[in-house]
Structure 1
Amino acid sequence: MSSKKKVNLKERIDEPKYRIGILSFTDPRSEVKLVKEREDYIKKCHDELISILESNGYTVINPQPSIIEKSDTKEIFGINNHKQIKEAVIEFTKQQVSAILIGCFAWNEPNIPLELAKQVDVPIGLVTKNNPLWPGVTAITSTGATFWELSNTYYIKNHERFVLPMNGNVESMLPWLKATCAVNHLRYGKLLLWGGTPALNMEHLNDDIPFLKRFLIEDIITQDQYLLVKNAEDILVNEKKSIDAFKQWLLDNKCTIKYDNVMVSKEILDKQIALYLAAKKILNSFHQDGERIIGTSIKCQPELSVDYGITPCLLPAFLPFGFDHEGPKPIVPTVCEGDIKGLLTSSLLYALNNEIPPLFGDLKIVNDDYFVIANCGAASAYYGELSNKPEKTLPNCTIAAQCQGVAGGAFGYRTPTTDEEITYARLIRLDTNYIMQYGTGKIVTMKEKQKMGWGITWPHTAVKMNVSVESLVKAIGTNHLSLMPGNYTEELKHVSKILGISTVQLDNENSIQSFLDIY
Structure 2
Amino acid sequence: MAKAKKLGASVSRRPAQVTFGVCAACDPRIDEASRQRTTNIVELIADEIAAAVTMPDGSAVNVVWSPVLIDGEKQADAVARQFKDAGVEAIICTPDTWAFPQLTLMSLLAHVPERTPVNITVGNSAPKPGVVYAHAVNGALAQAGRLTHLNVGTWPDTGQKPRPTVGTIQALVDWCYAALTYVGLKGRRVVVFGHDSMGMETALAHVNATRRSFGLEITRLDMKLLADMLNKGAYSKKECRALREWIGGHLGKRLDLSQADAEAKLDQSLAMYLIMRDLLAEVDAVGGGFMNQLEWGSDPRGIPLPICDLAESLMNSTFDHNGDKAALPFATEADVQGLLTMLFKTWLSAGAPPLFMDFRKVWEPWEIQAKARDLDVKFTKSTVWAEKGIIDGDNSGSASLNWAGTPGEPVEKIMKRVSMPGAELYYFPGGGNSVTFVSPGGIEGIASRLAYSELSGLFSLVWDEAFT
TM-score (norm 2): 0.80
Could you list the runs of 5+ residues in structure 2 that have no partner in the other structure?
Answer: 1-8, 55-60, 157-162, 365-388
Tell me, in whole angstroms, the C-alpha distance in 2 between the residues paired with 1:128 and 1:259: 61
1:6 to 12, 31, 39: 12
C-alpha offsets along residues 146-203 of structure 1, whole Å, 9 cap, x if unaligned?
223333x3x2xx44242333241223333222222222233242111111x3111111
The superposition leaves residues 215-244 of structure 1 with CA deviations (integer Å, 9 ceiling, x where unpaired) of: 1133111011122222223337x7433222
1:105 partner letter = D
Cross-structure match for 1:503: none
Distance 2:193 2:76 in 1: 44
After TM superposition, the structure 1 = structure 2 runs for residues 10-29 of structure 1, keeping only pairs within 5 Å, are: 11=15, 13=16, 17=17, 19-28=19-28
Closer, same or farther: CA 90–233 of 1 in aligned 2, 3 Å:
farther
Q: Give yes or no for the alignment of 1:273 onto 2:270.
A: yes
Which of 130, 133, 136 is residue 130 of structure 2 equivalent to? 136
Distance 2:407 2:340 in 1: 23
Give yes or no for contact 1:193–1:298 (8 Å, CA) kept in 2.
yes
1:209, distance to aligned residue in structure 2 (A): 1.4
Kindly report structure 1 stretches of 4+ aligned residues shifted beyond 3 Å: 58-61, 83-98, 386-389, 430-433
Aligned to 2:411: 390
For the pair 1:409 / 2:466, whether they are aligned, the reply is no
1:117 and 2:109 are equivalent in the alignment: yes
Aligned residues of 1:268 and 1:310 also touching (Cα < 8 A): yes
Residue by residue over 1:425-457, the C-alpha shift from the partner in whole angstroms, topping out at 9 and shown as x without a partner, is 1111243342211111221xxxxxxxxxxxxxx
What code does the residue aligned with 1:361 have? M
Taking the aligned partners of 2:461 and 2:184, their CA distance within structure 1 comes to 17
Q: CA 1:173–1:386 in 2, change beyond 3 Å: closer, same or farther?
A: same
* Residues in 2 aligned to 1:227 and 1:367: alpha-carbon distance in whole angstroms: 43
Aligned pair partner of 2:143 in 140, 149, 154: 149
What secondary structure does 1:365 align onto?
strand
- What do the CA deviations read for 1:381-434 (whole angstroms, capped 9, x no partner)? 11112356431211111111223222121111111112x422111111243342
Name 1:459's counterpart in structure 2: none
Q: Which stretch of structure 1 is more off in the superposition, 403-412 or 80-89?
A: 80-89
Aligned counterparts of 1:367 and 1:21: Cα–Cα separation in 2 = 48
Aligned identity (percent) is 19
Correspondence for 1:89 among 59, 80, 83: 80
Please list, as runs of the form range in 1=range in 2, the aligned pairs for 1:110-509 lying within 5 A after superposition.
110-111=101-102, 112-120=104-112, 121=114, 122-151=116-145, 153=146, 155=147, 158-166=148-156, 167-169=163-165, 170-195=169-194, 197-235=195-233, 239-254=236-251, 256-262=254-260, 265-287=262-284, 293-306=285-298, 307=302, 308-368=304-364, 369-386=389-406, 389-403=410-424, 404-406=427-429, 407-418=431-442, 420-430=443-453, 431-432=455-456, 433-443=458-468
Q: Structure 2 vs 1, CA of residues 352 and 92 (structure 1 numbering), >3 Å: closer, same or farther?
A: same
* SS of residue matched to 1:253: helix
CA contact (8 A) 1:301 1:337 kept: yes
Contact preservation (8 Å) 1:100, 1:123: yes
| SS across alignment from 2:357 | strand
How far apart are residue 363 of structure 1 and its match?
1.4
CA 1:207–1:265: 2 relative to 1, 3 Å: closer
d(CA) in 2 for partners of 1:88, 1:299: 49
Q: Secondary structure at the match of 2:170?
A: coil
Name 1:462's counterpart in structure 2.
Answer: none
Preserved CA contact (<8 Å) 2:134 2:150:
no
> Residue 106 of structure 1 aligns with which residue?
97
**CA 1:97 to 1:363, structure 2 compared with 1: closer, same or farther past 3 Å?**
farther
2:382 maps to none
Higher strand proportion: 1
Residue by residue over 1:72-117, the C-alpha shift from the partner in whole angstroms, topping out at 9 and shown as x without a partner, is: xxxxxx1223343345435545656453111221121111211222
CA distance in 1, matches of 2:85, 2:336: 29
**Equivalent-residue separation in structure 2 for 1:338 and 1:4 (angstroms):** 33
Letter in 1 for 2:270: I
Structure 1 unmatched ranges of 5 or more: 69-77, 288-292, 444-519
Q: Distance in 2 between matches of 1:282 and 1:97?
A: 30
Distance 2:125 2:363 in 1: 53
Q: Which amino acid aligns with 1:137?
A: V
Q: Distance in 1 between matches of 2:185 and 2:269?
A: 29
Contact 1:22–1:60 at 8 Å: present in 2 too? no
Matched letter for residue 118 of structure 1: A
Instruction: Provide the TM-score with structure 1 as the length reference.
Output: 0.73
Q: CA RMSD in A?
A: 2.4
| Residue deviations 1:323-381 (CA, integer Å, cap 9, x gap) | 22222333210112221211111001100223421011211233123222222232111
- CA distance in 2 between counterparts of 1:91 and 1:344 reads 34
For the residues of structure 2 that align with 1:164 and 1:366, how far apart are their CA atoms? 43
User: In structure 2, what is the equivalent of residue 472 of structure 1?
Assistant: none
* 1:282–1:132 Cα change, 3 Å: closer
